[in-house]
Structure 1
Amino acid sequence: MIRTEALDRLPVRHCVPELLAALDRHGTAVLHAPPGTGKTTLVPVALAGLVGTGRPRRVLVAEPRRMAVRAAARRMAWLLGQEVGEAVGYTVRGERRVGAGTLVEVVTTGVLLQRLQRDPELAGVDTVLLDECHERHLDADTALAFLVDVRAALRPELELIAASATSDTDAWARLLTSLDGASGPAPVVRGRGEGFGCEVHFAPPPAGIRPAHGTRVDPALLRHIAATVRLALARHEGDVLCFLPGTGEIARTAGLLDGVDAEVLQLHGRAPAAVQDAVLRGGAERRRVVLATSVAESSLTVPGVRIVVDSGLAREPRTDHARGLGSLTTVPVSAAGAAQRLGRAGREAFGTVYRCWAEAEDGRWARFPAPEISVADLTGFALRVACWGDPSAAGLALLDAPPGGAMAAAGSVLRAVGAVDRDGRATERGVLMARLGVHPRLARALLDGAGKVGAGRAAQVVGLLSEEPPREYGDDLATAWRTARRGGDGYAGRWRAEVRRLESALAAVAPAGRGAGRAAGSGLSDDAAAGLVTALAFPERVARSRGEGSFLMASGTRGEVGAGSVLRGAPWLAVAVADRPVSAASARVRLAALVDEETARAAAGHLLVSEEQVRWEDGQVVARSVRRLGAVELSVRPLTDPDPVLLRAAVLDGIRREGFGLLHWTREARGLRDRLAFLHRAVGDPWPDTADAALLERAEEWLEPELSRVRRRADLGRIHAEACLRRLLPWASGEAARLEQLAPERIAVPSGSLIRVDYGGEQPVLAVKLQELFGLEATPEVAGVPVLVHLLSPAGRPVAVTADLASFWRDGYRSVRAELRGRYPKHPWPEDPSKAEPTRHTRARAARGR
């Protein structure tokens, strides 16, 4: 019997007629309904005509999480007074409960994508409702883009609804009509009602709490959250739903609540199905404290909850595309996420919310969570869009374009496993991989591993890789495999179901090869089979020991195995799970399998390289022949006759790092370099630039053939820089002959002396004793540039600087004469130096000379 009273309490019922009318007119709509109003449960059954007066439709509801799928189907069936599998059913990976009369089927967005790729027309489906679009999961974004394509090209009658509990509706409205030719955006239907409401208390932590960093959360904050839960239990009635960023914080907070007068339950995506069902079923006689991750933000009603304690933290994925490693980072919850969490408190009655941050911080955070497409590994996405026929995703209706770097990294992986061709188009193998319903890496391991260890064993190892085993299983994959086989916990049950699904999927896409590997792989131990399949999935993560629990992966990333691990002494590993914390030099190896070098080379054959390496190292050229697997060196031998091109590059690198001072520079060589630099500034072409960067760029031109004879630093010291630099002079044009004319090394002064010109500064400098310039009225020039004259005393000390000698004789000389004639009485100090006779000597010696 339909539970009419319960349906009538759902505020979203008031907007159902408007939604049905919008679909009849446009075929698309955006539904905005606040948390707790019934959009997930009432709207689908109304669309299917199971309640109300709407025409019958076959409705597909897509939810972002398996837990939400089961909970939504169970709730809808209860509202109809039926069992799941009758009018309402569900499908998640490895589990399906539908019947011949099912009109509403709830699925994960991942299952929806698989169906779209097998059957783009979605035959038999009238309406698709994508729930919780605001969470911006990659699968949901992709599914909506594909559905818009389907409406535009195949089934214009297919109805689409994007449902969101937050107010970011305009973008969805534009997206739903971007490719289907309709005029204007899709209509937005707004449901009113905020449930029963709640009061908000801010409970900021004490001073001194350190901000979250990577996955580390200050234990003092967890103690504060636990204390807030205890306070809430003492002050208010009802169960408590406490939001924490991850399973580690949930476990630690559960420990801090030991002895509390309530049942403490841990709710997260990896919790056993029985625990999830118990939390969502409610009806317990004892009060409950449910510690949950963000999985409880939306699509779920946790019965009995009247109080929400919000840590203010969430966990988001980050991907290091260069190293092929993923990690999680703790971030402040978005404003949309905080609103979703708040809405959990007032779904069944007036509630209370404790926010564990200062009121002054409220509203400063991001409006919405980061779209997964902007931060996630896009390998699976790239294969999907390639199979869809749009490898770049440029023609898809996406709110955010995929980042170019992430797509390039994904394309590299897909080409390596044979899933796409050089142009990014899906190969026949890639299409088969996409149908297996796992990450392309795991699809490669399943397909290729089945032929080497047997389909069953390959499926079992891939099942372990697709969902990381609990930490208590250890970090050795083979040991975790044995534990799962004999285990009776929730993980083991999910693993066995996934193995059955993988075996079935493998048989469907490659029936002829299903048992081909049985005999070939029967002699392999569990350790060898686990290592081989893992290496096939993650070839760039095969790693060689560096001692002391440290490993170098083929990708170039260092990995560290935990103290006490059985893996520490292994010569080679295939790393299945590793993360690289923020600012850490090495990745932490969470799960790995033993392999030998032969297996590593077979699995990562595309990374096998033989090359000559010639480099400058510790003041000498090191030349060797190297065979390597990515960054891991397999064998090394010295080279006696290295490639001259590589040799020159190595020597130039040494000069680049250590400077041209390694060459033999005489005073004449340094002077020549300065003269050429001056002419390059003053005259320009064809005089060469002699700055370091320019000399490096033309090094082979002026340092050959000396470069080819260099093996160490001392060899560079035997290269005479002056002779080499002269090769840069403009000989071809004949200008080289004018070097002494344009930039002479020395200038003759009136006394007869040849004085060296210093070209090292911005302006050429002539340092000369004052008496030697008597009688010279004009300032000497080089290449049309007046020199800067440094006038010296008879003792060679500077007394004046001028670029205008005539002006100095007229205005400056008198004061210099007055100062120096008493100090140097033996030297001539005429009143008119411009008419005096120049001399290098005293008056007496000059007179004897006459």
Structure 2
Amino acid sequence: MSGIRPEGLRLPVRDALPALLAALEGHGGAVLAAPPGTGKTTLVPLALAGLTDGGAPVRRVLVAEPRRMAVRAAARRMAWLLGEAAGETVGFTVRGERRVSRRTAVEVVTTGVLLQRLGRDPELPGVDAVLLDECHERHLDADTSMAFLLDVRATLRPDLWLLAASATSDTAAWAELMGGVPVVEARDVTHPVEVVWAPPGRPVRPPHGTRVDPALLDHVASVVRRALGERDGDVLCFLPGVGEIARVARLLGDLGGLGDTDVLQLHGRAPAAVQDAALAPGARRRVLLATAVAESSLTVPGVRVVVDGGLAREPRTDHARGLSSLATVPVSRAGADQRAGRAGREGPGTVYRCWSQGQQTRAPRRPSPEIAVADLTAFALDAACWGDPDAAGLALLDRPPAGAMAAARETLRVVDAVTADGRATERGARMSRLGLHPRLARALLDGAPVVGAGRAAEAVALLSEEPPREYGVDLAAAWRTARRGGEGYAARWRTEVRRLRSLADEHAPGGGSSAGLTDDAALGAVVALAFPERLARRRGAGYLMVSGTAAEVGEGAGATLGGAEWIAVAVADRPAGAASARVRSAAVVDEATARTAAASLLSSYDEVAWVDGDVVARSVTRLGAVELASRPLRSPAPEAVRAAVLDGLRREGPGLLRWSRDAVTLRRRLAFLREVLGDPWPEVSDEALLARADEWLGPELAAARRRADLERVDAGAALTRLLPWASGEAARLDELAPERITVPSGSRVRVDYEGPQPVLAVKLQELFGLSRSPRIADGRVPLLVHLLSPAGRPAAVTADLASFWANGYQAVRAELRGRYPRHPWPEDPTTARPTGRTNTRR
């Protein structure tokens, strides 16, 4: 090898290069398993391009990284190995920045940029090899790029080399997905890493949403101090996000007294100078506070100690409510191992884990693949533009969830990016080429002609990267702050504005100055275009979104936003267990803007419905779930009224009708016959009656106009329509389930069908002479006889009257004849004369 600095030749992956190049030459594809720090991101692309061997032909190589910071770092590191600056033999392209030249043989791009290029020209003309780095992280853009590239190799470019690089050895699934290509493993020369378990001394609240218990961050800062005192070398501390990094940095602000230690913040939003300082050896000892960006895709020199806060951020999407957010979750075991390995790159190291060994065993094995948990709107548009709207033919390790895809396609349909069957429209293809989320692409394309290209670009840039929390909830105030700001977020915002302004001028011609439209109104219009279903109207103390989700604007929103009748919500989340979403950023709009932005959700119709216990008929105009206007409907269609009445009956149950004693008895008799005899006797449970309401309540439903009409319906009379008249069995109702039974005394006694067995409650003396219990239902069921005292109180219960006369009567006689001497108590009740009267006076 020649042409590169000696440091490159000492990288461990060097020994795997012959096998890797042989695999690519023989199969056109390969999977490389190489731990962080082995050179897979720096030496391998140079070898693929032929730059490590003076006699090899030079190939053009694309290297795709999941993060912009990793793109810049990889390009600069490779250029340094060649003794050049980035932009010569090795260049890079990220959103808003491109450094390449005619000499560029290796270009490092984000996976998002790669997807855009594949969309513009799937053949990737001039490219000989593509390396997809950090595949193990399972970012959605990387998974999608791999699927598209496999399509390209199979149909257009069989000569294209395709290499998947992973920092883990779990590569078999990738090799199979790529058609059974070889797996090449690079030797890992990491040094031993000691694990120190350092859980908090007292319980901390688990994370929820993006909120992390400050007590945990205080503990992490104390562990960093402990590590500085116990170990040598730089300290790399992992935290879930920018906010947590800033808090811990404040807590460590006095570290200058501990040997002139620098505290650096390493994350995607950090200025380029800070990122460069973090990725270069320092003369002073350093504490680097980093997000997961430093797990595998970046090598940070000088690190001998890792302090792991134990948390990570993953996307979450509430598809039913159209809300996307980040969730703070425990780091997976694989992620924790990746983080720990950073301490052993240059020598023996130590990892301080801010949780217990027990928590480690309960942690998930691997992070969730992004395709399983993220908003799939951009993925669905990419798939539609690729010609596979359902993504059914794409080679993916995990299939996209059906519900998430359905929600994504509906969002795309609303913004006219796809047709009803999911095929990309010409507008959708244009949106895809902008390199923006489809929502933001729609806002830029449709907003520029309304508010002007410049203001549309500024507003969309504000939505592309959520402003810092200190900017507040009111996006108009955040916009003014960004315009005044200098470094950090404001600088990145201005860079993105320039890029978006260029796109707006190119793709949205006709954008005027929109004179007379205030900045606040312009911003509201753009936010509404991006998130039409999140337009919200005031309802009580909170808001109701067009999607139907309740929302609350917290304190600190300001008088303008907090008191507005209409707002357009850009970011909201719904904490676990909360009844309403929490608005995190929004802009004020008016109803006219809402109607325009969400025109596809606007509807006017006559509504006849059962509302609050009665029929309400009105003409309604709605924007999704938000009612804009209504007026009474004087002559509603009879069939609509009937449907509303039926709906009310089904909601409130048959008890809404008038059930007399006879009606209740008839229903119980029918239920008894259904239970004993089955068909043709009808089922009369609530569910069955409601299912057949049209059949047995037809005329009454047709005549009903309100709740009071139903309350007058005689349920018993209507119920007779369900009797089996056609078979003739209806005529036997009184025979099979008689309402009354004639007893020996001549009395007609009512049968009670309420319990599991029909009951005949009758005075004991009225059954003298009856040797057997009465039976009904063609003799199948004996009545349960409740034998009453002369005062009408239960004296005995039997279903076998003959057995009672023989065995139980004498005990009852002995107990009651002294109490009721005027009533007959014969020795032999089976031959005595039945009576309901007392003995005759002597």
Which of 465-474 and 294-303 deviates more?
465-474
CA distance in 1, matches of 2:673, 2:428: 63
Contact 1:64 1:132 in 2 (8 A): yes
**AA of the residue aligned to 1:20:** L
Q: Report 1:309-348 matches (<5 A).
A: 309-348=307-346
Write out aligned runs for 1:761-840 (5 A): 761-784=755-778, 785-840=781-836
Which of 362, 382, 385 does residue 383 from structure 2 map onto?
Answer: 385
How do 1:229-628 and structure 2 match up within 5 A? 229-261=224-256, 262-283=261-282, 285-508=283-506, 510=507, 513-514=508-509, 516-518=510-512, 521-546=514-539, 548=541, 550-564=542-556, 565=558, 566-628=560-622
* TM-score normalised by L of structure 1: 0.94
| 1:106 match | 108
- Other structure's SS at 1:344 match: helix
Query: In 2, Cα distance between the equivalents of 1:757 and 1:148?
Result: 79
Q: Contact 2:36–2:299 (CA<8 Å) still a contact in 1?
A: no
Is the CA contact 1:35–1:194 (under 8 Å) kept in the aligned structure 2? no
- CA distance, structure 2, for counterparts of residue 614 and residue 214 of structure 1: 41
Kept in 2: contact 1:47–1:54 (CA 8 A)? no
Deviations 1:555-584 (A, max 9, x none): 112222232423112222222222222222
Counterpart for residue 200 of structure 2 = 205
Aligned counterparts of 1:499 and 1:319: Cα–Cα separation in 2: 27
User: What SS is found at the alignment partner of 2:343?
Assistant: coil
Name the CA distance, whole Å, in 1 between partners of 2:175 and 2:69: 28
Worse-matched range after superposition: 583-592 or 335-344: 583-592
Q: Secondary structure at the match of 1:609?
A: strand
What residue identity is the alignment partner of 1:558? Answer: A
Aligned residues: CA RMSD: 2.2
* TM-aligned CA deviation for residue 537 of structure 1: 1.2
1:68 alignment partner, one of 58, 67, 70: 70
Alpha-carbon distance in structure 1 between the residues aligned to 2:280 and 2:254:
24
Question: Counterpart of 2:695?
Answer: 701
Does 1:217 pair with 2:212?
Answer: yes
Any conservation in 2 of the 1:319–1:325 contact (CA below 8 Å)? yes
TM-score, normalised by the number of residues in structure 2 = 0.95
Q: Could you tell me whether the CA contact under 8 Å between 2:654 and 2:689 is conserved in 1?
A: no
**How big is the shift at 1:492?**
2.9
Alignment of 1:674 with 2:668, yes or no, is yes
Distance 2:189 2:650 in 1: 68
For 2:56 and 2:677, how far apart are their aligned partners in 1? 88
Cα shift at 1:518:
1.3
Bigger shift: 768-777 or 497-506? 497-506
After the TM superposition, which of the residue ranges 353-362 and 91-100 deviates more from structure 2? 353-362
Counterpart Cα distance in 2 of 1:642 and 1:272: 65
Deviation larger for 151-160 or 579-588: 579-588
Note the C-alpha offset of 1:709. Answer: 5.7
The aligned amino acid for 2:567 is L
Name the CA distance, whole Å, in 2 between partners of 1:217 and 1:393. Answer: 37
Residues in 2 aligned to 1:274 and 1:293: alpha-carbon distance in whole angstroms? 17
Counterpart-to-counterpart distance in 2, 1:790 and 1:563: 70
**Aligned-partner Cα distance in 2 for 1:591–1:219:** 23
Find the aligned partners of 1:757 and 1:54 in 2 and give their Cα distance: 103
State whether residues 3 and 51 of structure 2, in contact with CA within 8 Å, keep that contact through their aligned partners in structure 1: no
May I ask how many residue pairs the two structures share in their alignment?
832
Offset at 1:771? Answer: 2.0
Partner amino acid, structure 2, of 1:748: T
Moved more, 208-217 or 32-41: 208-217
The structural deviation recorded for 1:138 is: 0.3
Tell me by how many angstroms 1:68 deviates.
Answer: 0.4
- Shift of the 492–252 alpha-carbon distance from structure 1 to 2, 3 Å rule, reads closer
Report the alpha carbon displacement of residue 810 of structure 1 after superposing the two structures with TM.
3.1
2:185 is the alignment partner of 1:190: yes
How far off its partner does 1:796 sit? 2.0
Q: 1:254 to 1:719 in 2, by over 3 A?
A: same
Summarize deviations over 1:445-490 as a string: whole Å, max 9, x none: 1222222223333222222222222333333333333433443223
Take 1:653 and 1:304, find their aligned partners in 2: how far apart are those partners?
72
Q: CA deviation at 1:79?
A: 1.4
Which whole-Å deviations, capped at 9, do the CAs of 1:359-389 have from their partners, x for residues lacking one? 2333431111000001100000000001111
Amino acid aligned to 1:325 = L
Name whichever of 375-384 and 83-92 sits farther off: 83-92
The answer (yes or no) to whether the contact 2:772–2:802 under 8 Å persists in 1 is yes
| Contact map agreement 1:46 1:54 (CA 8 A) in 2 | no
Identity %: 71
Q: How far is the alpha carbon of 1:27 from its aligned partner?
A: 1.2
Distance in 1, Cα, partners of 2:200 & 2:124 = 51
Q: Which range moved further: 794-803 or 63-72?
A: 794-803
- Unaligned stretches of 5+ in structure 1? 178-184
- Cα deviation, 1:574-621, whole Å, max 9, x if unaligned, reads 222222222222222222222211111011111112233344444443
**Distance in 1 (alpha carbons) for counterparts of 2:219 and 2:413:** 50
1:723 to 714, 717, 721: 717
SS at match of 1:574: strand
Unaligned 5+ runs, structure 2:
none
Partner of 1:841: 837
Amino acid at match of 1:242: C
Residue 20 of structure 1 deviates from its aligned partner by 0.9
Partners in 2 of 1:760 and 1:585 — Cα distance?
Answer: 43
Q: How many angstroms does 1:759 deviate by?
A: 1.1
Which residue in 2 is equivalent to 1:143? 145
Q: Is the 8 A contact 1:241 1:308 kept in 2?
A: yes
Distance 1:94 1:790 in 2: 91
What is the distance in 2 between the residues matched to 1:254 and 1:4?
A: 36
- Match for residue 731 of structure 2? 737
Separation in 2, partners of 1:538, 1:345: 44
8 Å CA contact 1:436–1:506 kept in 2: the answer is: no
Deviations 1:249-275 (A, max 9, x none): 112212221212322222222222222
Match of 1:41 in 2: 42
Q: Which amino acid aligns with 2:336?
A: A
Q: Secondary structure at the match of 2:561?
A: coil
